[in-house]
Amino acid sequence: MSHKVTVADTLEMSVDERLELVADIWESIEALPEAISLDDFERQELERRLAAYRADPGRAAPWEVVRQRLQNRARPR
């Protein structure tokens, strides 16, 4: 049985819970790359980003690091 999550449901979640939900959703989409259709602009942007990475891979950060940065930025001070 599936459970539908509404926008209202997500707004009741903490920021950390919402980030985890987004990561889970992304991973489920990532598992089916053939299901993603790209227009020309999106394909060109991906190619540009891949070329930038290949030109200087040291500037890239692993997902865990990026996620932690986002979580730290989202926390109230």
Enter the tokens of residue 11: 């707004």
Structural domains of the chain, count: 2
C-alpha to C-alpha distances, 39 to 13, 42, 46, nearest whole angstrom: 33, 5, 11
pLDDT at 1: 55
- The predicted-structure confidence for 9-31, as pLDDT tens digits, reads as follows 999 999 999 999 999 999 999 88
Residue 70's domain comprises 37-77
1 and 31 co-located in one domain: yes
Same domain, 28 and 43: no
Helix, strand, coil abundance in the chain, percent, nearest 5: 70, 0, 30
Looking at the fold, whether 67 and 77 belong to one and the same domain comes out as: yes
> Residue 6 — very low, low, confident or very high, per pLDDT cuts 50/70/90?
very high
Q: Do 2 and 25 have their domain in common?
A: yes
Cα atoms in the Cβ-side hemisphere of radius 13 Å centred on 40: 0
Question: What's the confidence (pLDDT) of residue 50?
Answer: 95
> What is the band of 75 on the pLDDT scale with cuts at 50, 70, 90?
confident
Q: What is the pTM of this model?
A: 0.47
